[in-house]
Amino acid sequence: MLDSLWLFLLQEADVHDDEATDDGRSHDAADAVYHHYVNLHSELQMEMEALINPNFGSVFRVESHPSQFAFSAQRYVDIYSSRLKNFLEYPKNYTFYPERMRLPHEPTPQPPIVAGSTGVQLAYLRCMC
């Protein structure tokens, strides 16, 4: 959401910059718009930082880099949710399966050849094991 807002703001700044140039006005108006958006970006960034628990900080990021905890969660955790209530969307008997990853020494699976009435067809099957 913030990415689309930021894109919108940049497009607006570009439009205002074009208007300032087309009208023959100085770039003071464009500079004012630019500084307005820079200040707005700072405010949005402070609001986002306020959402993070001040006692702990973000456990998944260190500045703009993923934390060691984030790497460990991606590597060892089969299922993760930010809120426990998200699991209420699934039936009680639902089985979660981890994504199957091919190891470097394993061959790349080839689609099996299936003979059909119109000749040989390739059937692409997705392995759910």
Q: Residue 5 — pLDDT band, cuts 50, 70, 90?
A: low
* Helix (H/G/I), strand (E/B), else coil: 38: helix
Domain count, the chain: 1
pLDDT over 80 (residue 37): yes
The residue among 88 and 3 whose pLDDT is bigger is 88
Beta strands 65-66; 119-122: pairing state: unpaired
The residue among 60 and 9 whose pLDDT is bigger is 60
User: Nearest CA to 75 among 99, 97, 96, 58?
Assistant: 99
Report yes or no on 127 lying in a domain. no
Report yes or no on 101 lying in a domain. no
pLDDT over 80 (residue 92): yes
Are the C-beta atoms of residues 47 and 41 closer than 8 Å to each other? Answer: no
For residue 48, give its domain range.
2-89
Are the C-beta atoms of residues 70 and 60 closer than 8 Å to each other? Answer: yes
Query: Can you say whether the dihedral through the CA atoms of 44, 45, 50, 51 is positive or negative?
Result: positive
Give counts: helices (H), strands (E), the chain.
3, 4
Query: Can you say whether the dihedral through the CA atoms of 70, 73, 75, 79 is positive or negative?
Result: negative
Q: What is the pTM of this model?
A: 0.31
Report yes or no on 35 lying in a domain. yes
Report yes or no on 125 lying in a domain. no
Report yes or no on 104 lying in a domain. no
Per-residue pLDDT tens digits for 43-85: 988 888 787 776 666 777 777 788 888 888 877 777 777 788 9
Contacts 24+ apart (CB under 8 A), 82-85: none
Per-residue pLDDT tens digits for 98-108: 777 778 888 88
Report yes or no on 69 lying in a domain. yes
Report yes or no on 54 lying in a domain. yes
What value does the mean pLDDT take over residues 5-20? 60
